[in-house]
Amino acid sequence: MRITLIISIISHLLFSQVLLDINSIPSGSTVRLNGASIGETPILAFKVTPGNYTLHISSGEYAPVTHELFVQDVKRVKIKFVLNPLYKVKFRSKDQGLTFELNDEHSWVDNRIKLILESGKHTLRVYENGHLFDEQIIQVNRNMEFVYSRQKPQQNEILIEENNID
């Protein structure tokens, strides 16, 4: 009786398979499931058993994504990602001796620097001699150049210039 029950449980787990479809924009993104590569999107009918999974999606000029997925005991799971693109941003400061920091994490002192930024809003903090004296929100939605100047803008003058570069 106990053996029958064990066999039944094992059979249930073995045959309790769920079909997983993974799609992304852009297609051709590399997919890793619990660290193991399973191919590129679109992935159709990949068999998994119900449970928790970590999905990692990456594609050259897009920000990678890590997603925790709980697969229920269902017939099919369809998951779709829309990745955020990365843009080339040239940053230039008109002033000397400043320290710049993006998103509380990335900092530099160079007056000119080339950055790769994910599309969206970034928080820029400006320090002089270790003291914070300016904070700005930078909206990135294309390849561009940011020019920073510490002087307060006069009428009809902007503090941060945004220039298109392609």
What is the spatial distance between Cα 115 and Cα 135, in angstroms, rounded to a whole number? 18
What is the spatial distance between Cα 135 and Cα 127, in angstroms, rounded to a whole number? 9
Q: Quick one: 15 or 152, whose CB is closer to other proteins?
A: 15
Q: What is the DSSP string of 72-113?
A: -SSSEEEEEEEPPBEEEEEEEESSSSEEEEETTTEEE--SEE
Radius of gyration of the chain (CA): 24
Q: Does 94 bind other proteins (CB under 8 A)?
A: no
Specify whether the CB–CB gap between 153 and 125 falls below 8 A.
no
Q: Quick one: 4 or 129, whose CB is closer to other proteins?
A: 4
Q: Quick one: 36 or 137, whose CB is closer to other proteins?
A: 137
Q: Does 112 bind other proteins (CB under 8 A)?
A: yes
Q: How buried is residue 144: exposed, middle or buried, by Cβ count under 10 Å (0-12/13-18/19+)?
A: buried
Q: Does 125 bind other proteins (CB under 8 A)?
A: no
Q: Does 126 bind other proteins (CB under 8 A)?
A: no
Q: From the CB of 162, what's the least distance to other proteins, in Å? A: 16
* Among 11, 54, 141, 163, interactor with other proteins by CB under 8 A: 11
What is the spatial distance between Cα 71 and Cα 9, in angstroms, rounded to a whole number? 19
Q: Does 160 bind other proteins (CB under 8 A)?
A: no
What is the spatial distance between Cα 134 and Cα 93, in angstroms, rounded to a whole number? 13
Q: From the CB of 135, what's the least distance to other proteins, in Å? A: 16
Q: From the CB of 158, what's the least distance to other proteins, in Å? A: 20
| Residues in touch with other proteins (CB under 8 A) | 4, 8, 11-12, 15-16, 63, 65, 67, 69, 71-84, 86, 90, 92, 102-103, 105-106, 108, 110, 112-122
